[in-house]
Structure 1
């Protein structure tokens, strides 16, 4: 089983990832700025910014553990996160669950869901085989 979770803030309205870092006073896992090339060998230019905070837990745990890790860091920043979404940033919680097992449940209990609902962002679950 391979798992992970990332909180993402996209600034398609002209907002920058640097602004998010400054307002949250939190070091992101990765950032992308509008106007940058999408890839080294591509002429495509990124239209919006993207700020990512990914769980640093091992990739063989439970999705819920990754979300708790993110929430522990982001809950103290709740007011700033809501201000950013009020300014036009789009938030989401992107979760990965990849497994070859014939059955593996992703458990998100009510406490975890309550914590997620207190912060902006839709919950996205990417469930796939492990290959």
Structure 2
């Protein structure tokens, strides 16, 4: 799968998908058929530049968030009521959010690519003296 989603172009990805089918199609026919049936939607990803695609396939922010919530809730056993569960999830979320300030690798290049593609939808606060940016706040430097 990695060769499919890390392909340089959509055409190369299609070739890699065919290679994947040859190698794994008999063992995982449902998966391969699903990818082929939904290829038009899945391949929309290749309309973006490599820095944006890398953010998409490496970040998995929602999955990471869910994993951290499960880690907290599964060790607690039963909850006395829904409110006790909600309080635990709320407090866990507050702790998880503290880790969201770390800048992503090559974020400055990536945010520039986002701005080129979605300029009308992104408030840009990057300037020439910026030390970098993070996903939680575009600018990480107070310099002007």
Per the TM superposition, whether the score is higher than 0.5 is: no
Question: Which is greater in Rg?
Answer: 2
TM-score, structure 1 length as denominator? Answer: 0.28
TM-score, structure 2 length as denominator? Answer: 0.26
Greater helix content: 2
Greater strand content: 1
